[in-house]
Chains A and B, each alone.
Chain A
Amino acid sequence: MTLTQYGIKYAVHIITSNFGNLVAKVCEILLRRGHLSLKQLIGFTELTPQQVKNSLLILIQHNCVQPFSFDQSEGPKVTQYIALFDNIIHRGRFAKFLAVVSQELDTDRELILKDLLENGRLTLKQIIEGAESSKSQGDSADKDSVQESFLKLVNAHFVERCPAPEPVLGQATKQEGPAKKRGAKSAKMVEVPETIEQRVIAAAAPPEAIRFSIMIDSEADAPGGKSDNMSVGEKRKHATLEFDAEFESSDEVVLWRANFEEFIRCLRHKACVENVRARLDDEAAVVLRAMLKATRTAEKKVKTENSVPLSLNTIYEEVINSEAGRSLTMGRVRDSLSGLCDSSQERDVDEDESYSADLKKILELAQDDEVELIVLKRYGKDAYTMFRILSLAGRPIETDKISDMSQLSLVEKNETPKILYNLWKDDYLHMERLVVTGARQSQFLVWRVDKPIIWKHVLDEMFHTALNLSLRLACEEERFKEITDLPAHKLLGEMAKQWQLYRNVILVLQASLLKLDDALMLFHDF
């Protein structure tokens, strides 16, 4: 999905509140202009080279910027920098990521992850030191247990090796010439199937085998080295290394970071399960959860449309292994599956009966709900009815026909044009004028829900709202500063009341932001 205006503003706001104005300036230029070289960046930001360099270092350390270069046959190699929008937005989700780990694994791992999230990238040695120092006050954390926790995190794919420091991007396969490639602005305007950002991420990612491997290859992981040059065969040789030896030898040079992709996958699965629970029932939710849990590591990409196919027997086994599904019978599991799977898929029942949940559909319905609820609240019940008529129909419909279709929903006939106009005015509907020339020339208005356009508009409003909530949050914290600076024993009488008010205000804003972020993920990340 292309970046929206308020998406960029919200990202810049996050960077400003995390790292200050200078870093935010560099980040904003990168977000708005696409990839740039250091020289270009200095020119656009009008900062000193040192300031830009420092800002870039911070952004790279926190995985918000990825350096890369183009594969050029002639001329010197120029390093380009590109901002990673998604990773910036993920910075507001660290609490959710930590919650995922504490649910999936346990609190012990949370500590390591917290350290990684706060510091961006760390070597194993740093991770161990960090865990030891933070635990020194209380229970003793021995090195072994930290190592064990770390291993578990890596095995669960919650932690991964950092991407290549500077991948080389091959020539674009599209017809676009090298001159055009530099202008990322134009690339963002047109819907290209793969953006430069996606290509850079793909090129920088370590191969799957190495990405979650604890075995360390000293040559490949030397600073500046390209680990993706290494063949699998070479890697296997090192697999025989003693685990302890690695910890002491070359571990400083391998950098680790939290794997946002895996967290988003977990949150996506959770959202699917909860939506199924609301739309269908608890049993369907239990079945879906079991299916997704069993196939999580087999998923190729986060935004997969269908879950990995499983046979009925495997699904049933998974279901009865979970606490909630213990009492379900095979027949009920099969009933639930009929509601979860894509009905258009041809199914050969005689063959190995395999099922795959239609995740895309589940998420689309959730998106529809969110947009419809906005329409309901903003424009009222009648507008909601008409919006649903058009959204369900998925084709343009003429004004009078919409009137007829909404009469059973008790909408007065003469209200229809007014309501449709209101929705159209705010970009929630698409309208076209049709002129029919016959014996008598007549004009019709047809209306349509154009999902890609409306959804993008809604996403932008969501980013706008997220920005507004964070700004107001900062504003309220400033307003109550006097109260929050007071020591607890001085909070009496009027002060105590003010403190309570402050608590309520902050709670509402924070909770709303968290919930809104769920919706943002639904539209942007899932």
Chain B
Amino acid sequence: MSRPSALKRKQPDSSSPSESLTEHEKIVYSVIRSKQDMGIWTRDMKKEANLPDNLVGKSIKSLQAKNLIKEVVNVQSKGRKHYMAAEFEPSKELTGGDWYSNGTLDKYYISCVKDGFAKIIYQLKVATLEGISDEVKKSGIFKTSFTKQQIEEILRVLVLDKRVTEVKSTGMGEFGSFPVGKVCYKSTSKGGSKREPKVGAMASIPCGVCPRISQCTPDGIISPRTCVYFTKWLDF
């Protein structure tokens, strides 16, 4: 740090650092800063700053050394270098959202969260979104807290995985404590564990998954009489 510490104390705000910058650095910095939490790709930056490449490169290095900007990962295009002013946190578009860490989908974390929620729903038998949210908080199994949107996402994926079903309360039996029509979630299997999908009638026959079925005719070049998939299937 080249700046005297006294000066820093006097002007703690973000406008201060730019004073010690060169003219070029100032231009580059203002371009980056204007993009806020979206950051900017180096090539776009060069265009907007309208400076020679080598000057832009130098300015970036120096700004980075002064901790005024930082390099961020963009999940959309990991190969491109993105920069952002230091005081911003990368937007969801860049990071990929809550489920990403360092630009990659945090698969382990996601599966832990899914399993945890499935278990809680199984224990609750039938529950609403709010009920599940409260129970997750109470259980303390996760250090982080979830937003409503995140919980909705988790519930949706559990429904997609067929570990949980979404049902509307009928107001009777196990739904007795919920008003009629209220969306509830219910475990589909014991322990809320993953279920093996059943075997479909079509899916278990070669034709059901045949990429050539539209070209297959009884007397054509592709025909059930000579079909190689059939032959393989019936080879005992």
Beta-carbon nearest neighbor of A473 in chain B: B224
Which range contains the number of B residues in contact with the other chain?
A: 35 or more
A370, B114: Cα distance in complex, Å: 25
Contact, CB under 8 Å: B203 / A501: no
Contact, CB under 8 Å: A408 / B154: yes
A458, B213: Cα distance in complex, Å: 12
Chain B residues closer than 8 Å to A343, beta-carbon distance: 167-170, 180-181
A339, B168: Cα distance in complex, Å: 10
Contact, CB under 8 Å: B209 / A337: no
Looking at B29-37, B39-47, B54-62, B192-200, the stretch in contact with chain A turns out to be B192-200
Contact, CB under 8 Å: A370 / B202: yes
Contact, CB under 8 Å: A409 / B161: yes
Identify which of A349, A377, A409 contacts B200 (C-beta below 8 A): A377
For residue B99, CB closer than 8 A to chain A, the reply is yes
Produce 1/0 per residue, B152-168, CB < 8 A to A: 01101101110000011
Contact, CB under 8 Å: A388 / B160: yes
A114, B97: Cα distance in complex, Å: 65
Looking at B8-16, B132-140, B171-179, the stretch in contact with chain A turns out to be B171-179
For residue B110, CB closer than 8 A to chain A, the reply is yes
Known A407-B96, A407-B105, A465-B208; judge A377-B203 contact (CB<8 A).
yes
Known A338-B170, A343-B180, A468-B207; judge A519-B160 contact (CB<8 A).
no
Looking at A18-26, A257-265, A503-511, the stretch in contact with chain B turns out to be A503-511
Produce 1/0 per residue, A370-404, CB < 8 A to B: 10111011100000010011001000000000001
A334, B204: Cα distance in complex, Å: 37
Contact, CB under 8 Å: B216 / A374: no
Known A338-B174, A389-B160, A408-B114; judge A461-B201 contact (CB<8 A).
no
Contact, CB under 8 Å: B171 / A347: yes
Contact, CB under 8 Å: B160 / A373: no
Beta-carbon nearest neighbor of B211 in chain A: A378
Contact, CB under 8 Å: B175 / A338: yes
A11 to chain B, nearest CB (A): 14
For residue A413, CB closer than 8 A to chain B, the reply is yes
Contact, CB under 8 Å: A370 / B167: no
Contact, CB under 8 Å: B234 / A508: yes
Contact, CB under 8 Å: B159 / A344: no
Contact, CB under 8 Å: A512 / B75: no
Chain B residues closer than 8 Å to A512, beta-carbon distance: 201, 204-205
B91 to chain A, nearest CB (A): 14
| A404, A407, A461 interface centre (most CB from chain B within 10 Å) | A407
A488, B197: Cα distance in complex, Å: 42
Contact, CB under 8 Å: B197 / A376: yes
| A370, A392, A408 interface centre (most CB from chain B within 10 Å) | A408
For residue A290, CB closer than 8 A to chain B, the reply is no
Beta-carbon nearest neighbor of B76 in chain A: A413
For residue A101, CB closer than 8 A to chain B, the reply is no
A469, B227: Cα distance in complex, Å: 11
Known A343-B169, A465-B205; judge A370-B200 contact (CB<8 A).
yes
A463 to chain B, nearest CB (A): 11
For residue A472, CB closer than 8 A to chain B, the reply is yes
For residue B218, CB closer than 8 A to chain A, the reply is yes
Identify which of A334, A404, A476 contacts B172 (C-beta below 8 A): A334
Scan residues 406-423 of chain A and give those whose CB is less than 8 A from a CB of chain B. Answer: 407-410, 412-413
For residue B225, CB closer than 8 A to chain A, the reply is yes
Chain B residues closer than 8 Å to A464, beta-carbon distance: 207, 213, 216
Chain B residues closer than 8 Å to A392, beta-carbon distance: 159-160
Beta-carbon nearest neighbor of A13 in chain B: B218
A409, B162: Cα distance in complex, Å: 12
For residue A516, CB closer than 8 A to chain B, the reply is yes
For residue A434, CB closer than 8 A to chain B, the reply is no
Known A369-B200, A374-B200, A515-B201; judge A461-B157 contact (CB<8 A).
no
For residue B230, CB closer than 8 A to chain A, the reply is yes
Chain B residues closer than 8 Å to A404, beta-carbon distance: 97
Chain A residues closer than 8 Å to B202, beta-carbon distance: 370, 373-374, 458, 461-462, 465, 516, 519
Beta-carbon nearest neighbor of B160 in chain A: A388
Known A376-B203, A468-B207; judge A408-B225 contact (CB<8 A).
no
For residue B148, CB closer than 8 A to chain A, the reply is no
A347, B213: Cα distance in complex, Å: 48
Known A343-B168, A471-B225; judge A337-B173 contact (CB<8 A).
yes
B18 to chain A, nearest CB (A): 31
For residue A58, CB closer than 8 A to chain B, the reply is no
For residue A475, CB closer than 8 A to chain B, the reply is yes
For residue B107, CB closer than 8 A to chain A, the reply is yes
For residue A335, CB closer than 8 A to chain B, the reply is yes
For residue A405, CB closer than 8 A to chain B, the reply is yes
Contact, CB under 8 Å: B207 / A476: no
Identify which of B96, B169, B209, B216 contacts A413 (C-beta below 8 A): B96
A378, B207: Cα distance in complex, Å: 10
A118 to chain B, nearest CB (A): 27
Chain A residues closer than 8 Å to B174, beta-carbon distance: 335, 338
For residue A14, CB closer than 8 A to chain B, the reply is no
B172 to chain A, nearest CB (A): 5
| A344, A370, A376, A472 interface centre (most CB from chain B within 10 Å) | A472
Produce 1/0 per residue, B69-105, CB < 8 A to A: 0000001100000000000000000001101000001
Known A334-B173, A408-B114; judge A278-B207 contact (CB<8 A).
no
Produce 1/0 per residue, A262-278, CB < 8 A to B: 00000000000000001
For residue A341, CB closer than 8 A to chain B, the reply is yes
Identify which of B188, B199, B234 contacts A373 (C-beta below 8 A): B199
Produce 1/0 per residue, B205-231, CB < 8 A to A: 101110101001010000111010010
Contact, CB under 8 Å: A518 / B201: yes
B54 to chain A, nearest CB (A): 32
Contact, CB under 8 Å: B225 / A472: yes
B165 to chain A, nearest CB (A): 8
A347, B171: Cα distance in complex, Å: 9
Beta-carbon nearest neighbor of A389 in chain B: B160
For residue A204, CB closer than 8 A to chain B, the reply is no
A339, B236: Cα distance in complex, Å: 44
Chain A residues closer than 8 Å to B211, beta-carbon distance: 378
Chain A residues closer than 8 Å to B208, beta-carbon distance: 374, 377-378, 461, 465
Task: Please give 10 more A-B residue pairs, beta carbons under 8 A apart, in addition to A338-B172, A347-B171.
Answer: A338-B170, A339-B173, A408-B110, A413-B96, A464-B216, A465-B208, A467-B224, A468-B207, A475-B225, A515-B204
Sample 9 A-B pairs with CB under 8 A, ordered by A number. Answer: A341-B170, A389-B160, A404-B97, A405-B156, A413-B76, A465-B207, A472-B224, A472-B227, A515-B201
**B residues engaging A (CB < 8 A)?**
75-76, 96-97, 99, 105, 107, 110, 114, 153-154, 156-157, 159-161, 167-175, 180-181, 188, 197-205, 207-209, 211, 213, 216, 218, 223-225, 227, 230, 233-234, 236
